[in-house]
Amino acid sequence: MILDAFFRSLGQLSDPRFRRVFLTGIILTLALLIGTSAGFVWLIGWIVGEETTLPLIGEVRWLNDLASWGSALLLAVLSIFLMVPVASAITSMFLETVAQAVEDEHYPRLGPAERVPFGDALRDTINFLGVLVGANIVALILYVLFAPFAPFIFWALNGFLLGREYFTLAAIRRVGRTKARALRNRHSIRIWVAGILMAVPLSIPLLNLLIPILGAATFTHLFHRLAPQAPYDRTSPDP
């Protein structure tokens, strides 16, 4: 079931809507990372100041440049590490387009899905971004402490987070937030395994940038396999 959903998604990568979401997500991600880096470097420069007085040395003028370049290098490394989590979170704002493309291609008899309001999508994206980035930063400690198991920790953590988020977002369109959460809890192990399938290619440069799109499409397929209802019932009130 999971592999079939993945390969169906892989076969639809040429869909213009997939490409549009991919390019939009990458542009917004780069803009966010570049803006954050520039702001952080400016803040470090402002804190250090043009001149700094050191004991036994006196005034030094190069400390500002050293701090700025050092922080820029650190952010460049962190940006590489955080590129995929940030892209995944931002792409979740455009899941509607990916899910609709999947349903148009593979489930044409479905009625129209209820659109998720932009405010709700933005809120979910911000929450997901915070959890995803925060969890990966904390996981850096585990990578150092358990270096031989770092890849498995990375896959397990991001697989859980990606599966949880993408399945929920795919299900909300059809059954609402409450039933989406209940369905996710009922099939949590299978969703986690599918998330790990998405997380493994995150270690492969360039291919990892396609994962948000493939993840959104794969979990749309997975949702329809786990909840084959037509028409979908959205009668349960959302909180």
pLDDT digits (tens, 9 = 90+) for 43-100: 666 665 554 444 444 454 544 555 555 555 655 555 555 666 666 666 667 777 888 8
DSSP state of 208: G
Instruction: Kindly report the backbone phi and psi dihedral angles of residue 97, in degrees, each rounded to the nearest multiple of 5, phi listed first.
Output: -65, -45
- The amino acid sitting at 138 is V
The total number of structural domains in the chain stands at 1
Q: What is the model's pLDDT at position 191?
A: 93
Report if residue 237 sits inside a domain.
no
Does pTM surpass 0.85? no
Residue 127 CB coordination number (10 Å): 13
- The amino acid sitting at 178 is T
Task: Output the CA–CA distances (angstroms, integers) from residue 210 to 5, 13, 26, in the order listed.
Answer: 16, 9, 10
Report if residue 98 sits inside a domain.
yes
Report if residue 171 sits inside a domain.
yes
Report if residue 232 sits inside a domain.
no
Q: Where are the beta strands (DSSP E) in 43-165?
A: 52-54, 58-60
Report if residue 204 sits inside a domain.
yes
% pLDDT > 70, the chain: 68
User: 189 versus 165: which is more confidently predicted?
Assistant: 189
**Which token pair is 211?**
């994962």
Q: Which pLDDT band holds residue 189 (cuts at 50, 70, 90)?
A: very high
Q: Degrees (nearest 5) of the Cα angle 52, 54, 55?
A: 155
Q: Are 92 and 128 in contact (CB under 8 A)?
A: yes
Domain that holds residue 207: 2-226
Report if residue 238 sits inside a domain.
no
Q: Are 158 and 185 in contact (CB under 8 A)?
A: no
β-pairing verdict for 58-60 and 52-54: antiparallel
Model confidence pLDDT, tens digit, residues 111-151 = 777 777 767 777 777 777 778 778 878 888 888 888 888 88
Q: Degrees (nearest 5) of the Cα angle 209, 77, 92?
A: 30
Report if residue 18 sits inside a domain.
yes
Report if residue 217 sits inside a domain.
yes
Which distant-in-sequence residues (6+ apart) come within 8 Å of 208 by Cβ?
83, 84, 201, 202
Residue 94: its H or E element: none
